Structure 1
Amino acid sequence: MRAGRVQATLAVLLVSASQAAGSALTAILASSERSCYYADVDKVGEKIGFYFAVQSGGSFEIDYVVMDPDDKVLLDGEKEAQGDYILTANKIGEYSFCFENDASMSDKLLDFDIMVESEPRRVLSGQQQPLKEHTSTLEESSYKINGLLSSIARTQKYFHTRHHRNYSTVLSTQSRIFWFTVLECSVIVGMALLQVWILKTFFAKGTKRFKV
């Protein structure tokens, strides 16, 4: 009996894990480059999760646009550093998620996640009824755990993005301090040389020469 329960539990977890199809990707977007990614929706009313964050490059800004199978714009933005959206699919087909790096001359490291909800129907061998009718409580608990894990993953991505941006800010500040110090030292040395030259010129003018 315990082995049968373990098998049923594993089957439920597999069903719950397969109820959302998604892809977490990291890509480098060159200057003036446009890159598009696609996700298929098999049922009207499914939820589409779309998350992106610029990890490094320039001012951490990117342009994006999300379109439905009829090329109708659902979401768009310019010079955005991060976004997290949930859409409802009103049409069946291929949805596109495009990024553009036209506003900057530097490459961008982009982290994004596209999640499409799905509801496959799994049937146990030798049975005609769906598995979820017998294990609704366990499946609901799996949904809650999956939601909590997704929330934790999004929070980790947020702090990861903040870490990259703060690190880039620190490097930029160090570079500015270095070059400001170099400029300040150059000005001090130049002023010292100028003072020596002025004093030398002043005393040279005040010296009288006599021919014997």
Structure 2
Amino acid sequence: MLFRILEILALLQLVAANALTFNLPAKEAACFYIFTEVPDTQVSYYYAVQQGGSFDVDYFIKDPSGHVLLSKNKERQGDLVITAQHPGEYEFCFSNEMSTFADKVIDFEIKFDGDAHQQFRASMPEQPNSKPIEHVDAMKRTADHIDQQLEELKRSLQYYKTRNNRNQATVRSTESRIYYLSVLEVLLMVGMAVLQITIVQLFFKGSRKQLV
């Protein structure tokens, strides 16, 4: 019975997902591809710039025919769902060409759901004296609810990870500015001291010439 429950839960969660973190150098672009076999597939699309520059990046999405479905410039993060209306290969591209020298570190995830519920129902054999389907629907709703809560938790963790990385970058930038400002202040103090000594020496030299 336990094995059957695990099998049902596995069938209910038939999803394909890809998540990665990659480095995007300045003046370059990177593209990723997914292939859908079922029309009108819902594709979840999440990204966040973790490090680099102003934490922004350009991106665009193309369908199998090469048409641009979505295009944004200088975005820091995004979490959206698109409908892949036609089966085929979809292209997701990030561009850092607007940056002169700053590399970007990007978290990126694509997730598309197949028609898992219909596959599950089709795989269920007809059995005599079987219980009503309501208990299966209740189990399906419970699994969907757990999956939704896990997805919300993952999104919250991704959000806090992004905030933490950006705050650390701000702290490092502030520390660097304080350090260089302190060095500049010391150099100015040394320069002022040298200038004062030079002025005093010139003053006394002039006074001695007048006495002679």
Same fold flag (TM > 0.5): yes
C-alpha separation between the residues in 1 aligned to 2:54 and 2:152?
27
Asked whether the equivalents of residues 39 and 116 of structure 1 are also in contact (C-alpha less than 8 Å), the reply is no
C-alpha separation between the residues in 2 aligned to 1:106 and 1:52?
18
One-letter amino acid matched to 2:150: L
C-alpha separation between the residues in 2 aligned to 1:115 and 1:206?
85
SS of alignment partner, residue 49 of structure 1: strand
C-alpha separation between the residues in 2 aligned to 1:66 and 1:128?
43
Asked whether the equivalents of residues 22 and 113 of structure 1 are also in contact (C-alpha less than 8 Å), the reply is yes
Aligned pairs for 1:27-176 within 5 A = 27-104=22-99, 105-120=101-116, 121-122=119-120, 123-124=123-124, 127-128=125-126, 133=133, 135-176=136-177
C-alpha separation between the residues in 2 aligned to 1:37 and 1:143?
28
C-alpha separation between the residues in 1 aligned to 2:37 and 2:178?
55
One-letter amino acid matched to 2:114: S
How much has 1:181 moved relative to structure 2? 0.7
SS of alignment partner, residue 66 of structure 2: coil
How much has 1:128 moved relative to structure 2? 4.6
C-alpha separation between the residues in 2 aligned to 1:33 and 1:161?
22
How much has 1:44 moved relative to structure 2? 2.2
In structure 1, runs of 5+ residues without a counterpart are none
C-alpha separation between the residues in 1 aligned to 2:64 and 2:175?
47
One-letter amino acid matched to 1:36: C
Deviating above 4 A after TM superposition, structure 1's stretches of 4 or more consecutive aligned residues are none
Aligned-residue Cα RMSD (Å) equals: 1.6
SS of alignment partner, residue 135 of structure 1: helix
Asked whether the equivalents of residues 54 and 110 of structure 1 are also in contact (C-alpha less than 8 Å), the reply is yes
What TM-score, normalized to structure 1? Answer: 0.88
- The equivalent position to 1:24 in structure 2, one of 19, 26, 30, is 19
What residue number does 1:203 align with? Answer: 204
Q: Tell me the matched-pair count.
A: 200
Asked whether the equivalents of residues 49 and 87 of structure 1 are also in contact (C-alpha less than 8 Å), the reply is yes
1:82-114 deviations in Å (ceiling 9; x for gaps): 111111222121111111111212221111110
